[in-house]
Amino acid sequence: MKKISILLNSLAPFFGLSAIYLLFMAIGPESFSSPHNLETILRQTAIVGTAALGMTLVIIAGGIDLSVGSMIALVTVVIAAFLQAGISPLLSAAAGVGAGVLCGLVNGLLVTRLRVVPFIVTLGTMLIIRGSAKGIAHEQKIDAPLSWLNTLLAALAPDALWQLLPAGVWITLLLAVTVALLLRYTKLGKHIIAVGSNEQTALLCGVPVDRIKVIVYTMSAGFAGVAGLMQFSRLTVGDPTVAIGLELDVIAAVVIGGGSLSGGEGSVAGTIAGALIMTTIRSGCSQMGLPNWVQEIITGAIIVIAVSLDRLRHRRRESEQ
Amino acid sequence: MASVNSPAPGPSLRMRNIRKSFGATAALGGVDFDLMPGEVHALVGENGAGKSTLMKILSGAIAADSGTIELLGTPFLPRTTFDARTAGIAMIYQELALAPHLSVADNIVLGMEPERCGILRRSVISRKAQDALAQLGHENIPVDVHVGTLPPASQQIIEIARALATGCSVLVLDEPTSSLSREDVERLFKTIRRLKAAGTSVIYISHFLEEVQEISDRYTVLRDGCSVGNGMTGEATTGDIVRLMIGRSIDQLYPHSVHERGEELLSVKDLQGVRKPRSASFALHRGEVLGIAGLIGAGRTELLRSIFGLDRIKNGSIRVGHSIGCATPQKRWSQSVGMVSENRSSEGLAVHLSVMDNITMNLRRDATRLGFISPRRLQRRAEESMRLLGIRADAALHSVDTLSGGNQQRVALARLLHEDVDVVILDEPTRGIDVASKSNIYSLIDRMAAGDPALNLKPRGVLVVSSYIPELLGICDSIAVMCRGVLGPSYATKDIDQHRLLEEAIGKGMTE
C-alpha cells in the first residue's frame, strides 16, 4: 500500500505530462498529434533536458546553479571558434564541453572554499561566463564551417530513419539513464542525496561534503556542456547571447519534476517529464496559433501548480504519521 | 565490532586536563574524565557546564586547546569526526542526525558504504543494516523505507544502529530521551544494557537524574567547565548530584518573596489545538507564577503558542481579562499579554539588531509622534527597562548577538517590561544559560509576580514552561503538568514534590 503510494507520487509528473498532451490532442490541430511533431518535441526538449539532468544533481545536493545558460553560450562560442580554426569537429566538441566542465569546477570550488551560498556564487559566475563568451566572440556570432556536429539535433534524413530518433535525443536518454543509475546504485549518488538531505549529518558520518559539492557542480557543468554542444548543433554558429534565461527553464524542469530547492529530493524521470511538459505546452500553443505571451503564462502557472501539488502531497504524507 | 571481552586493566578512555576556550570564555578549564570498559557512565551538569564541548572534542568535531586523550591505552587525537568514528567513538546527538530522504539501510551505512568500484553492494548493505538492528532487538524496523517516515523513537534506534554497524567501542548518548515516551525510554534502556553486556562503553548525558540513577554505573559532574565530582551512582543520592551540579544549595538559587494573588488575568478552558494540546484548562491570576512541567514534545510550547494566537485552535475558550476568544499575536499584545519564545535566536530576538531596537520592537502607540519615531525617546524608554533588569546601560546600541545567553534572555524579558504587559508567558526561560544568569532570571520572574511599588512595578501573572522540574519548584506558586498533549490540574507548589511531578510528566499511572 505504502509502496503503491510512493510509486504514484513519483509518477505524478508523468500523469501531468499525459494530461497536457491529451488536452492538446483534444483541442489542438491534428498536426499536434502527428509522429513528426512528437519527434520535434523530443528534439526541442533535448537541450533543456540535458542541462536539467545536471541541475537535478545540484538541486538534490541542496544547491542551485544559475550559470548554466551562460555556460551553454560559452560552449557554442568555443566550439565555433575551434571549428573556424580548422580543428576537427570531435576535438572542437570536446574543447567546448571541457570549457563547460572547467566553469563548473570553478563554481564548485568557489561554493566550498568561500562558503558563499551557491545562489550568489553562480549569479556571479553567470555574468562572468557570459562576459567571457562575449569577449572571446568579440560580441558577435562566430561562423563555423558545417560539419556532422550540426546533424545531432536535426530532423532525421529519410535514409537515417533506422536511428528512430536523432542522435542528440539518444544522448539525452543515455545520460538520463546514467544519472538515474548513479543516484540509485552508487556511493556517490547516496552521498549527493545525504548532503542535500542533511548536510550536518553527512559531515558527521564522514561524507566528504565539500568534495561531493565540487563533483556535483562540475558534473552539472558537464551536462550543460553537452547541452551547449546540442545548442551549437542547432545554431550552426557560436552565439554568445544564446540561452539567456535558459537556467530558469532548467530549474523549472527539475522543480516540476518533484525536485525540492531545500535539497534531498528530485528524480531523473521527474526532471525529464518536467522538461517535456514545458516543451509540450510550447509546441501545443504554437500549433494552436496562440501568441508567445500565452505560452509564458501557462508555463508559469504550471510551475506554481506543480510545486504546490507536490507540497500538498508532502504535507498530507506527514500528517498521516 | 571492537571486542573488549577480556577485562582490560585500565580505562578504555582517559581524558586528562582538557581545556578549550571560545574567544574570551573558557568553556572547559581542565577536565579529567575516565571511562571503564563496559560501563555506563553518566555525564551530568547544567546547560553550559561544558558537557557538549567535551563530547565534541572526543568526537573530533572541535579540537581541544590542550590536554590529552587516550583510547584503549594509546594516544588519540581526532582531527575530524571521521577519525573518531573509525577509531570506534560514536555520538548520538540530541537533534537526530539522519538524512530523512535516504532509506534506513542507507542511513546506517552512510559514510562507510560497502562498495565495489563506487557501485554499492546493496545486498551487503541491507544485511549489515538488518544485523545492526537485530543486535538492538529492533529487527522489526524495515530497512528499505525512507527514514523521514519513521517515528522519532525508531529514528534514534537507527542512529544507534549506525554506530554499531561501524563498530563502536564508545557510544555517546546526548540527552537521548528528551523526545521519547516512557515506553520508548524503557526500550532504549534495554538496548543500552544489551550494548553494555556486549562490552561497549556508554557515556550517557542527561538532565533527568532519575534516568541517570536507573541506567548508569558511575557518574561525573561538570560545573562551569570543570569536573567537580565523580563516583559510583549507587552510592550517591539525586540530592548529592544536584548539589555538585549547582554548587550551592537550592534555597539560595531560588528567591521567593510573598506573592499576593489578585484577580484572574487569563483563563483557558478545554483548549484543543490542531494536534497539540489535546486538552488544557487553567487559570492565571495577578501575582501568580504558574509553572507548566512536562517532557519535551508533550505539547507545552504548542499550548503557549495557541494562547498567544500563533497556532490555530480547534476547540475550547481563552479568556484574557474581559475578552474571550482566539486572537492574533498583535491583539494579544494590545491585551497586555507578552510572550518570550523558547528559541531565543530564531524567534525571540532579532539578534543582528541592537538591544534598544529589540526592546522597543513592538513600537507601542506612544513611541511615535505623528507617525514618526523619535530615536531618542525610544532609547530613553529602552534604558528604563534595561535598568530594571540590570542590563548595562552602555549596551543599548550594541547588537544582541554580542551578548551572552543570559543577557540575551534579559533583553527578551526587558521587552515585556517595556510593553508593560500583565500576563508574562515564558517558554524555557533559562535554557542554555549559566547558573549565575539563571539565578538572575529567577529573581526577575519573582519580582515581576510580586511587583515593586518603589520601582513603580505592578504585580503581574507569569506563565512559565520549563523542562527542569527543580527550577519550577523553586520559582512557581502553582504547577500543572502536561503529558502527551493533556494538561493536568494545577497544584500549589507546597503540596507537590519532584517525584510526583516527574511521574505525571512521564504519564506513569495515568490511564490513556
Residue B2, pLDDT score: 44
Using alpha carbons, list the distances in angstroms from residue B223 to A268, B59, B442: 53, 21, 19
- Judge whether residue A290 has pLDDT over 80: yes
Q: What is the pLDDT of residue B509?
A: 46
Q: Provide CB contacts within 8 A for B168, sequence distance 6+.
A: B1, B2, B85, B88, B89, B90, B200
Q: Confirm if B461 and B449 have CB atoms less than 8 A apart.
A: yes
Asked if B122 lies within 8 A of A264 by C-beta distance, the reply is no
Q: Which residue has the cell 503538568?
A: B481
Q: Cβ contacts (< 8 Å) between B110 and chain A: which residues? A: 190, 194, 201-202, 205, 207
> What is the pLDDT, as a whole number, of residue B6?
46
Residues in chain B: 512
Burial bucket for residue B182 (CB in 10 Å: 0-12, 13-18, 19+): middle
pLDDT digits (tens, 9 = 90+) for A76-91: 999 999 999 999 999 9
**Structural domain count of chain A:** 1
User: Which residue in the set A187, A264, A317 is minimally distant from B101, CB to CB?
Assistant: A264
Q: What mean pLDDT comes out for the span B33-54?
A: 85
How many other C-beta atoms lie within 10 A of the C-beta of residue B24?
Answer: 5
User: Diameter of chain A by CA atoms?
Assistant: 64
Contact between A321 and B82 using a beta-carbon 8 Å cutoff: no
In a domain, A311, yes or no: no
Q: Average the pLDDT over A298-320 and give the result.
A: 78
Report the distance separating Cα B502 and Cα B182, nearest Å.
Answer: 11
The CA distance from B326 to the nearest CA of chain A, in Å, is 24
The grid coordinates listed for B32 are 579529567
Question: In which region does residue A207 sit, left (phi positive, over 0), alpha (psi from -120 to 50) or beta (all else)?
Answer: beta
Residue A134 predicted with pLDDT over 90: yes
Nearest CA in chain B to A315: B149
Chain B window 60-79: which residues touch A at a Cβ cutoff of 8 Å?
61
Write out pLDDT tens, residues B232-255: 988 888 778 877 876 665 556 787
If one compares B384 and A22, the residue with the highest pLDDT of the two is: A22
**What's the CA angle centered on B455, arms B451 and B460, to 5 degrees?**
25
Task: Please check whether residue B450 is in contact with residue B259, taking contact to mean a CB–CB distance below 8 angstroms.
Answer: yes
Alpha-carbon distance of B95 to A98, in angstroms, equals 43
Q: Which of B102, B115, B151 comes nearest A197 by C-beta?
A: B102
- Nearest by Cα to B473 from B303, B251, B245, B207: B251
For residue A235, count other CB atoms closer than 10 A to its CB: 17
Q: How confident is the model at residue B8 (pLDDT cuts 50, 70, 90)?
A: very low
Please tell me the distance in Å from B249's CA to the nearest CA on chain A: 39
In chain B, pLDDT over 90 holds for what percent of residues? 17
Question: A4 CA to chain B: closest CA distance, Å?
Answer: 13
Is the previous residue joined to B277 through a cis bond, with omega within 30 degrees of 0?
A: yes
Which of the residue ranges A3-7, A178-182, B299-303 has the most confident prediction, judged by mean pLDDT?
A178-182
Q: Return the amino acid letter for A314.
A: H
Q: Is the pLDDT of residue B76 over 60?
A: yes
Q: What is the pLDDT of residues A119-129, one digit of tens each?
A: 999 999 999 99
What's the burial of A157, exposed, middle or buried (CB within 10 Å: 0-12/13-18/19+)? exposed
Q: Is residue A317 part of a domain?
A: no
Chain B residues near residue A194 by CB distance under 8 angstroms: 99, 102, 106, 110
Q: How many other β-carbons are positioned within 10 Å of the β-carbon of residue B278?
A: 18
Question: Among A44-53, A221-230, B222-231, B354-363, which is the least confidently predicted range?
Answer: B354-363
Cα–Cα distance for residue pair B248/B95, rounded to 1 Å: 31
* CATH class belonging to B263-336+422-512: alpha beta
Q: What is the C-alpha to C-alpha distance for residues A265 and A56, in angstroms, rounded to an integer?
A: 9
Identify any residues that bridge with B280 across adjacent strands, giving them in sequence order. Answer: B271
The whole-angstrom distance between B121's CA and the closest CA on chain A is: 8
Chain A contact set for B61 (CB, 8 A):
204
Question: Nearest chain B Cα to A199, which residue?
Answer: B99
> Residue B99: which of A186, A198, A321 has the nearest Cβ?
A198
In what side-by-side order are the strands of the sheet with B66-71?
Answer: B25-35, B13-22, B66-71, B74-75
Q: What is residue A216's predicted lDDT score, i.e. its pLDDT?
A: 97
Helix (H) / strand (E) containing B81: helix B81-86
Q: For the residues A39-54, what does the mean pLDDT come to?
A: 94
Beta-carbon separation of A186 and B119 below 8 A: yes
Contact A11, A274 (CB under 8 A): no
Q: How far is B110 from chain A (nearest CA, A)?
A: 6
How many interchain CB pairs under 8 A, A with B?
A: 73
Is A201's CB within 8 Å of B97's CB? Answer: yes
Question: A301, A309 in Cβ contact below 8 A?
Answer: no
Residues 191-230 of A with CB under 8 A from B: 193-194, 196-198, 200-207
Nearest by CB to residue B97, choosing from A204, A264, A317, is A204
How far apart (Å, rounded) are the C-alpha atoms in residues A199 and A60?
A: 12
Confidence band for B7, pLDDT divided at 50, 70 and 90 = very low
As assigned by CATH, the class of the B13-252 domain is alpha beta
B191: confidence class by pLDDT, cuts 50, 70, 90 = confident
What end-to-end distance do the CA atoms of chain B give, in Å? 41
Does the beta-carbon distance from B115 to A200 stay under 8 Å? no
**Closest residue by Cα to residue B279 from B291, B268, B292:** B268
Report the SS3 class of residue B172.
strand
CB atoms within 10 A of CB B23: 6
Which residues in chain B are contacts of A190 at CB distance < 8 A?
Answer: 102, 106, 110, 113, 120
Contacts of B113 in chain A (CB under 8 A): 187, 190
Residue B162 near chain A (CB below 8 Å): yes
Treating both helix axes as pointing N-terminal to C-terminal, what angle do A292-320 and A246-256 enclose, rounded to 10 degrees? 40
Task: Give the Cα-Cα-Cα angle A126, A130, A136 (nearest 5 degrees).
Answer: 145
pLDDT number for residue A244: 92
- Boundaries of domain holding A290: 42-306
Nearest to B227 by CA among B28, B67, B55, B21: B28
* Lowest-confidence region among A253-262, B97-106, B317-326: B317-326
In a domain, A37, yes or no: no
Owner of C-alpha cell 488544557: B280
Encoded amino acid at B238, one letter: T
Q: Tell whether A2 is within 8 A of chain B (Cβ).
A: yes
Inter-residue contact B264 to B425 (CB < 8 Å): no
Give residue A273's pLDDT: 94
Residues of A in contact with B120 (CB under 8 A): 185-187, 190
Average pLDDT, chain A: 90
* Residue A299 located in a structural domain: yes
pLDDT per position as a tens digit, B396-452: 778 887 777 778 888 888 888 777 788 999 998 887 676 667 788 888 888 888 887
Residues whose CB is less than 8 angstroms from the CB of residue A301 and which lie 6 or more positions away in sequence, other chains included: none
Mean pLDDT estimate for chain B: 83
B232 forms beta bridges with B218
Interface with B, mutate which of A201, A215, A262, A314 (most B CBs under 10 A): A201
- Mean pLDDT score, B363-379: 73
Complex ipTM over 0.90: no
The CATH number linked to A261 is: 1.10.3470
Q: Smallest Cβ distance to A205: which of B100, B111, B118?
A: B111
Give the H/E segment covering residue B388.
helix B375-389
Confidence tier at A171 by pLDDT (50, 70, 90): very high
Question: In whole angstroms, what is the distance from residue B197 CA to residue B290 CA?
Answer: 44
Work out whether the CA dihedral B253, B255, B261, B267 comes out positive or negative.
negative
pLDDT band at A302 (very low <50, low <70, confident <90, very high): confident
Closest-CA residue in chain A for B166?
Answer: A205
Give strand pairing partners of B44: B221
Name the 3-class secondary structure at B360: coil
Cβ atoms of A126 and A243 closer than 8 Å: no
Yes or no: say if B181 and B507 are a contact pair by the CB < 8 Å rule: yes
Task: Choose the weakest-confidence range: B51-60, B80-89, B177-186, B223-232.
Answer: B177-186
The burial of A173, by beta-carbon neighbours within 10 Å (0-12 exposed, 13-18 middle, 19 or more buried), is given as: middle
B433 DSSP 8-state letter:
-
Nearest CA among A178, A184, A210 for reference residue A105: A210
Chain A partners within 8 Å of B118 (Cβ): 186-188
A298 touches chain B (CB under 8 A): no
Q: Which residues belong to CATH 3.40.50.300 in chain B?
A: 13-252, 263-336+422-512
Q: Does A9 touch chain B (CB under 8 A)?
A: no
User: Residue B491 forms beta bridges with which residues?
Assistant: B479
Mean pLDDT of B298-316: 88
The answer to whether the Cβ–Cβ distance between B112 and A202 falls below 8 Å is: no
Q: How far apart are CA A145 and CA A212, in angstroms?
A: 39
Helix (H) or strand (E) holding B89: strand B89-92
CB contact under 8 A, A264 and B162: no
Chain A residues with CB inside 8 Å of B85's CB? 205-206
Cβ of B99 and A200 within 8 Å?
no
Confidence of residue B179 (pLDDT cuts 50, 70, 90): low
Q: Which of B110, B144, B158 to mutate: most A Cβ within 10 Å? A: B110
Using DSSP's 3-state secondary structure scheme, residue B80 falls into coil
Strand partners, B229: B221
Out of A193, A201, A203, the one facing B98 most closely (by C-beta) is A201
Q: How confident is the model at residue B5 (pLDDT cuts 50, 70, 90)?
A: very low
**Nearest by CB: B102 against A185, A188, A194:** A194
Cell of A17: 505530462
B91 bridge partner residues = B172
Higher pLDDT, B368 or B263: B263
Burial of B272 (0-12, 13-18, 19+ CB in 10 A): middle
Contacts of A264 in chain B (CB under 8 A): 99-101
> Going by DSSP bridges, is the β-strand pair B313-320/B66-71 parallel, antiparallel, or unpaired?
unpaired
